[in-house]
Amino acid sequence: MKVCKFGGTSLASAEQMRKVASIIRADQERRIVVVSAPGKRFKEDTKVTDLLISLAEAALSNGDVEDALRLVVSRYEQIALELKLSVEIIDIIKEDLAARLTMKDDGDREFMDLMKASGEDNCAKLFSFYLQSLGVEAEYIDPKEVGLLVSKEYGNAQVLPEAYENLHRELRNKEGILVFPGFFGYTPEGTLITFPRGGSDITGSIVAAAVEANLYENFTDVDSVFAANPNVVQNPVEIKELTYREMRELSYAGFSVFHDEALIPAFKKGVPVSIKNTNNPGAPGTMVVNERNYMINPVVGIASDSGFSTIYVRKYLMNREVGFGRHLLEIIEDEGLSYEHMPSGIDDTSIILRSSQLTLEMEQRIVQRIEQELQVDDVHVEHDFAMVMVVGEGMRKMVGITAKATTGLARAGVNLHMINQGSSEVSMVFGVKTEDADKAVRELYNDFFVPTKSPVH
């Protein structure tokens, strides 16, 4: 059994849905299809999810719901009309949206999750209806009925352990094609809650793990994962194979193929993942596996992500002060902040975190507390940093990787503000100013992937 997930661009129009149906019918092992909400048809278009957010906001503010609702319904109507489907499916979608709109008094966050999830839910209903019109035995699956149970964290649902047993029992032996909406589940009490961004990828991974699929195919709009961002590096090489750990590191560092948590369920169950292109399904794509041959290339990709700030702290003999680090992190915790990296020296340390978490008031409060409570010699906050990451599980077995990277960055005139290598040695992280990030990525790519460069010995 294969579980296939199709992203928003793969389901944005009738033409795209025809391609998806053709892909499914080409392989009888493709039994479970996880769908996203219809995405953009062209660059200036609006995703259905964004239309639904506008609709929910209009309802909550007692604004013009009718126009916002019409925009949502028209997307489904156009697809249904071009697929020559009966009006029955549009009536079903209209009734569903009308019923959801009556629930705006249940709480803003609950209502917003309920409205956003209708994009995937109604897409699954429409697509299963389309498959049936082609004579395919297909069935829409309601996540509530099959027990996809999640925690009550609005917009950030975590799957509950019992969900896997429920899904295995309910889905494994069903006949025909099962069309499963991505992005959401239900609490044990019956409240709909959505996953974080990339939620349909998370759903697909959960379902693949639950049914113990022999392959989880994730269809998107690119032939494969690339070794660097094509918007930064011209014609980067395709990655044929990488490990779950490498994929997670690359996703964390800005690769948009997967949310960095999406593959964890499949990883834990050992289900291999294939990333393929809906518009070119014959391309080999990229395989995400437990282990790969690291000797072919110890480095698998170069990534970067911007939007970081650094809290720099200096105190003489900091290393001898018992509890200093704990107290420092307690101050960060009291502000409800999470940090990304914490490189340290003998007398100084830096806490690197996402700038989006900080406000000016919060910064001032943190600096004041560190000064007063830890009696430091210096503390200040700097902004506009990017994290450039070199990823590859083979790095720990190869001598000279770090030297090669730092030499290349120096040659390119990129000033390094931080170097951090995790204990797993899957990645090396370089902190640079945001303005230098693209230059750093291009230089590192040339060092590790352009054949004219001398190899690492």
Contact 367, 313 (CB under 8 A): no
Share of the chain above pLDDT 70, in %: 96
- Taking residues 159-186, report their average pLDDT: 96
Q: Given this model, what pLDDT does residue 380 score? A: 95
Q: Please give the helix or strand (H or E) that residue 6 lies within, else none.
A: strand 2-6
Res. 432 pLDDT band, cuts 50 70 90 = very high
Structure tokens at 241: 């194979």
- Is pLDDT above 60 for 457? no
Residue 274 sits at the vertex; the CA angle it makes with 129 and 288, to the nearest 5 degrees, is: 145
CA distance 127 to 140: 8
Report the pLDDT value the prediction gives residue 171, as an integer from 0 to 100.
96
Burial bucket for residue 221 (CB in 10 Å: 0-12, 13-18, 19+): middle
In this prediction, residues 66-94 reach a mean pLDDT of 97
Higher pLDDT, 115 or 319: 115
Residue 423 has pLDDT above 70, yes or no: no
Q: Residue 195, SS3?
A: coil
- Please say if the pLDDT value at position 291 is more than 90: no
What is the pLDDT confidence band of residue 453, given thresholds at 50, 70 and 90?
very low
Prediction pTM value: 0.83
Q: What is the mean pLDDT of residues 395-408?
A: 82
pLDDT at 256: 67
Q: Range with the lowest mean pLDDT among 244-253, 266-275, 401-410? A: 244-253
Mean pLDDT for the chain overall = 91
At 214-239, the pLDDT tens digits run 999 999 888 888 999 888 999 999 99
**Digit-coded pLDDT (tens) for 39-60:** 999 999 999 999 999 999 999 9
pLDDT for position 422? 61
Over residues 81-90, the mean pLDDT reads 96
Contacts of 257 (CB under 8 A, 6+ apart): 218, 220, 222, 225, 247, 251, 275
Which 3 state secondary structure label does DSSP give 258? Answer: coil
Mean pLDDT value across residues 389-415: 85
Domains contained in the chain, CATH given: 2-221 (3.40.1160.10), 301-449 (3.30.2130.10)
Least confident of 168-177, 232-241, 290-299: 290-299
- Tally of residues, the chain: 457
pLDDT band for 245, please (50, 70, 90 cuts). confident
Structure confidence at residue 455 (pLDDT): 46
Residue with tokens 């996953």: 195
Three-state DSSP at 207 gives helix
Annotated binding site for substrate: 49, 120
Q: Which pLDDT value is given to residue 40?
A: 95
d(CA 346, CA 320): 9
The model's pLDDT over 255-287, given as tens digits with 9 standing for 90+, comes to 766 666 788 899 899 999 999 999 999 999 999
In sign, the C-alpha dihedral spanning 18, 19, 20, 25 is positive
- Residues annotated within the binding site are 5-8, 49, 120, 220-221
- Structure token pair of residue 290: 């437990």
Lowest model confidence (mean pLDDT) among 7-16, 17-26, 345-354:
345-354
Residue 104 CA to chain centroid, in angstroms?
28
Burial group, residue 346, by CB count within 10 angstroms (0-12, 13-18, 19+):
exposed
Pick from 16-20, 247-251, 252-256, 364-368: least confident: 252-256
Q: Which amino acid is at 32?
A: I
Own/partner long-range contacts of 62-69 (Cβ < 8 Å, ≥24 apart):
65/101, 69/97, 69/101
C-alpha distance across the termini of the chain, in Å: 43
Binding residues for ATP: 5-8, 220-221
* Joined tokens for residue 42: 């062209």
Alpha-carbon distances, residue 320 vs 315, 379, 386 (angstroms): 10, 18, 31
**DSSP type of residue 28:** T
Cα 315 to Cα 35, 328, 342, 345, 457: the distances in Å are 53, 12, 15, 10, 40
Of the pLDDT bands very low, low, confident and very high (cuts 50, 70, 90), residue 400 is confident
Banded pLDDT at 398 (limits 50, 70, 90): confident
Helices (DSSP H) in 134-255: which residue ranges? 162-171, 199-210, 244-252
Q: Residues of 262-298 as b/e, b for ≥16 C-beta within 10 angstroms? A: bbbbbbebebbbbbbbbeebeeebbbbbeebebeebb
Least confident of 68-77, 169-178, 341-350: 341-350
Q: Which of 312, 304, 256 minimizes the C-alpha distance to 436?
A: 304
Residue 349, CB half-sphere, CA atoms under 13 Å: how many? 19
pLDDT at 424: 58
